Structure 1
């Protein structure tokens, strides 16, 4: 990486970190959008901790997400998810990756709104399908036609994800490009504030 690019990235990082302040940066979006992968890289770049709410739920419940869905159903899972997210967002700043359905739940969405800055990683159907089709651990896709199920989830959820504070397109680009786009979106908030 050239010295010029490094300085530019450090400046962008510093601007994003200043715009974030003590707030959490909370990634929302459908499964396969890259919330965990990009979230972890953004956290490293910003020098803050990263937490994945699904991993935290599995840790506190000592069950996988699939087992929780199977044994207790989606409504019980969502209630647990809301409690875990509420607890995690009490401290900041940190980068938090949420499960695909978290932001859809009214109570959880309110916790996210109170707990920081939400950023929707928005991807098209083909990109999402290419990413989620590689592994068989998505309880909501255990259907006869999982790609159609994914499309139905997009139709239902995208209007709600649009309520996020920021939106970044998650496409088939290098991860460092995605990280820069997230940092630019966050840093842009500071520039908007200064312009007003």
Structure 2
């Protein structure tokens, strides 16, 4: 049975910020897979990439996803942008949650990430080239989501309200329990 509200999307689409807003508004537990990994490893994501590599990070990410979806109470779960790279993560999210994919145009993502130096996959080469390459590589992997929301030209509050409206309709119809 689906019980969680899971927010996925490419980096820079607002997942964490919007997830926190919804969590506070609905008074539901907020879980961010990247934050959990950093807390459990006592290490930043860039440090994990540097010391152990992307494969280790992806393994940690899958383990955290498996744990978070097993919560017995509904939670707001946000993920890193690359969690969709593994099919087992997409299956778990679909099985245990209503998945909301946040989208933004690559130009908007580049604008939002212009000053962000904390993302290991954006290192090396130009920001525009890295974003465009990763965006093209991943965009089809977000298609499994139950709902797709364009964050371009919307405030974070507008996006959060849109997700909450859908969630309330799911609850009202008996689909989200």
Tell me if both proteins adopt one fold, taking TM over 0.5 as the criterion: yes
- In the superposition, relative to structure 1, how do residues 67 and 165 fare at CA in structure 2: closer, same or farther (>3 Å)? same
Cα shift at 1:52 = 1.1
- Aligned match for 2:134, one of 122, 128, 153: 153
RMSD across aligned positions (CA):
1.9
Deviation per residue, 1:85-111 (Å, 9 max, x gap): 111111131101100100221121122
| Structure 2 alignment gaps of length 5 or more | none
2:17 corresponds to 1:37: yes
- Aligned match for 2:52, one of 58, 62, 72: 72
Cα shift at 1:40 = 0.5
* Number of equivalences: 174
1:13 maps to none
1:179 maps to 160
2:33 corresponds to 1:53: yes
Cα shift at 1:175 = 2.1
- TM-score, length-scaled by structure 2: 0.90
Query: Matches of 2:80 and 2:14 in 1, distance apart?
Result: 11
Residues 122 and 168 in structure 1, CA contact (< 8 A), matched pair in contact too: yes
Cα shift at 1:186 = 2.8
2:94 corresponds to 1:108: no
- In the superposition, relative to structure 1, how do residues 22 and 116 fare at CA in structure 2: closer, same or farther (>3 Å)? closer
Larger radius of gyration: 1
- In the superposition, relative to structure 1, how do residues 24 and 145 fare at CA in structure 2: closer, same or farther (>3 Å)? same
| Structure 1 alignment gaps of length 5 or more | 1-20
